[in-house]
Amino acid sequence: MLSSLDIAKQKLIEISIALSSETDLSRLLKMIINELRLLTNADGGSLFLVENGHLRFEVAQNNTLMVLEGEDFQFFKRFEIPISERSIAGYVALTGNILNIPDVYELSSDFPFQFNPEFDVRNNYHTQSILAVPLKDHTGKIIGVLELINAMDAKGKSVSFSEAHENLVLSLASLAAVAINKARLIQTIQNLFEAEREQNRRNLEAIFRSVNDAIITVDKHGRIIAANDATREICGIDPQAIVGREFDQVNSYCAQSCYAALKEILGTAKTIKDYRLECRKQTRPHQIVTVSSSPLRDNTDKNIGTVLVIRDLTRVAEMEGELRARYNLHNMVGKSHQMQSIFHLLDELINTDTTVLITGETGTGKELIAKALHYGGVRAAKPMVTVNCSALPENLLESELFGHVRGAFTGASKDRVGRFQAAHGGTLFLDEVGDITPNLQLKLLRVLQEKTFERVGDSTTYPVDVRVIAATNCDLKKKVSLGEFREDLYYRLKVLEIALPPLRERREDIPLLVLDHRVKN
């Protein structure tokens, strides 16, 4: 037959397993008090946690008050007491000592701590014995105090807490402290996740309301889940009126070209980017939009629908036509043999991604050639970004090209998008590239080779799709021979070279230039 000590040890193991598996702090604290009362046969018990320099009352239980329904039998009121020598719990929290008091009403006045009879008076209760034990974590730090009230004998009479009781409570207190810290950590993490989730929800709602693109989300059956206000302007339909309806059943004043794209998307659950089409709206027959889509997935990565983003590109398309007309090769004046050769070369280069080096003296039209290559080619709908490499010192030029994160250097008060990232999908024109320093030459070479870059002060690698066109008015080959320019970068830039002649070498173009100037002005 097991001894009472063996039974107690076995019970402690069972309790420790139960405590370690409970992660809800409120349930855990109630479990701790209940198990301690059962172990010591105590009539009541309470638990305080250290919070902001005070002891905060968390939970209490009392058999007698539960039966009599005394004023405090539910113990729902939260209160705090100072960590000081004046109260029993405060003394234990301050000193870390155990207090086993046989009769609280016989405490000597010489003791710094005293019992407050207010609770007994209010509830017509008699507290006799108290066992107060500190809750210490694995580092010895006191995180709370356990109090047990009135140990009871087999006949239900109040007795003192024994030394065996002390040892049992101390053993369980150590386990309880670990479990409490774990539960508090989990609760903190859950609170942070919930706060972040709520903030993300609000941010998404703000973005959903504020963007100029029409955003429509549909479930996997084609039923509209949500639509933003821009849907009214672009699609000519009331966003509130279409929620809950089948996408193909929505009455609109267009050819419903988006529906064909949506059927393809829903059938394959693939991502579509910038699918261009004409709406042919009655009120705007030449409206051009791009449709982008991404599948909606649940937490198991199962496809549950699609989000459509519809962007109005009508004005952009009109501007594209204007830009193409303005920078069309035929608008570049030149009947000389040199210019005709350049025009022929440009025709071959326009629809390629080849890196081009444009050389020539200042004023020969290097930037005009770069714009003709961009606006006449497949990247015309994407941005063309120009950087004058001779206009900035090295540290500023590096930030200008690659961007930086906040705090990367003095004055970097916020993140900055670099020119490479701004030109993604389009063209980056590096004017006066011969003036960049060796350090930047190496970084530029890496971008050209690997198609990736890193912002200043950031270790994250970003992929980039950019056609690089460089220009210089200096002799790069001579700089290479002098060791002032990297040879490997030179050949990376000079995949194809367009050498622009000065006007003095093509005098036959002067009359045409004068005439063109008069016509434009």
Phi and psi angles of residue 425, each rounded to the nearest 5 degrees, phi first: 90, -15
pLDDT for 208 beyond 60: yes
pLDDT for the residue 486: 93
pLDDT for the residue 318: 65
pLDDT for 500 beyond 50: yes
Higher pLDDT, residue 209 or 244: 244
Q: Say if CB 221 and CB 210 are below 8 A apart.
A: no
Phi and psi angles of residue 460, each rounded to the nearest 5 degrees, phi first: -75, 135
User: Per residue in 436-493, pLDDT tens?
Assistant: 999 999 999 999 999 999 888 888 889 999 999 999 999 999 999 999 999 999 999 9
pLDDT for the residue 467: 94
Question: Check: CATH 3.40.50.970 for 212-312?
Answer: no
SS3 286: coil
Give CATH for domain 4-184: 3.30.450.40
Q: Say if CB 165 and CB 40 are below 8 A apart.
A: yes
* Percent share of the chain, pLDDT over 70: 82
**How far is Cα 77 from Cα 454, in angstroms, rounded to an integer?**
56
Across 153-237, the runs of DSSP E, i.e. the strands, are 158-159, 214-219, 224-227
For 382, the token pair is: 């994407």
Among 434, 424, 431, 297, smallest CA distance to 368 is for 431
**DSSP state at residue 160:** P
Cβ burial 217-236 (10 Å sphere, 16+ → b, else e): bbeeebebebbbbbbeebbb
**How far is Cα 37 from Cα 169, in angstroms, rounded to an integer?**
10
- Residue whose entry in the numeric block shows the structure tokens 């030109």: 423
**How far is Cα 487 from Cα 491, in angstroms, rounded to an integer?**
6
Domain 4-184 and domain 318-520, same fold? Reply is no
Residues across the chain: 521
Phi and psi angles of residue 469, each rounded to the nearest 5 degrees, phi first: -120, 125
Alpha-carbon distances, residue 152 vs 7, 42, 118, 158, 161 (angstroms): 19, 6, 22, 5, 9
User: Per residue in 331-382, pLDDT tens?
Assistant: 577 778 888 888 888 888 888 888 999 999 988 889 989 988 888 888 888 9
Across 360-456, the runs of DSSP E, i.e. the strands, are 384-388, 403-404, 416-417, 427-431, 452-454
Phi and psi angles of residue 132, each rounded to the nearest 5 degrees, phi first: -115, 125
For 160, the token pair is: 């003192």
Tell me the HSE value of 373 on the side-chain side, using a 13 A CA sphere: 32
Higher pLDDT, residue 493 or 298: 493
Mean pLDDT, rounded, for 24-53: 86
pTM exceeds 0.95 for this model: no
**How far is Cα 105 from Cα 59, in angstroms, rounded to an integer?**
24
Higher pLDDT, residue 64 or 6: 64
**How far is Cα 160 from Cα 162, in angstroms, rounded to an integer?**
6
pLDDT for the residue 150: 92
Per the prediction, the chain carries an average pLDDT of: 81
Contacts 24+ apart (CB under 8 A), 154-162: 158/43, 158/126, 158/128, 158/129, 159/129, 160/100, 160/102, 160/103, 160/129, 161/40, 161/42, 161/100, 161/129, 161/130, 161/131
Give me Rg for the CA atoms of the chain. Answer: 39
Question: Check: CATH 3.40.50.300 for 318-520?
Answer: yes
Mean pLDDT, rounded, for 229-247: 80
User: Per residue in 432-450, pLDDT tens?
Assistant: 999 999 999 999 999 999 9
Burial (CB < 10 A; 0-12, 13-18, 19+), residue 107, is middle
Residue 260 pLDDT class (50, 70, 90 cuts): low
pLDDT for 253 beyond 60: no
The residues spanned by each domain of the chain are: 4-184, 212-312, 318-520
pLDDT for the residue 330: 47
User: Per residue in 100-116, pLDDT tens?
Assistant: 999 999 988 888 888 88
Residue 237 pLDDT class (50, 70, 90 cuts): confident
Cβ partners under 8 Å of residue 60, min gap 6: 33, 44, 45, 46, 47, 72, 75
Q: Which helix (H) or strand (E) holds 55?
A: strand 54-62
- Residue whose entry in the numeric block shows the structure tokens 């150590």: 174
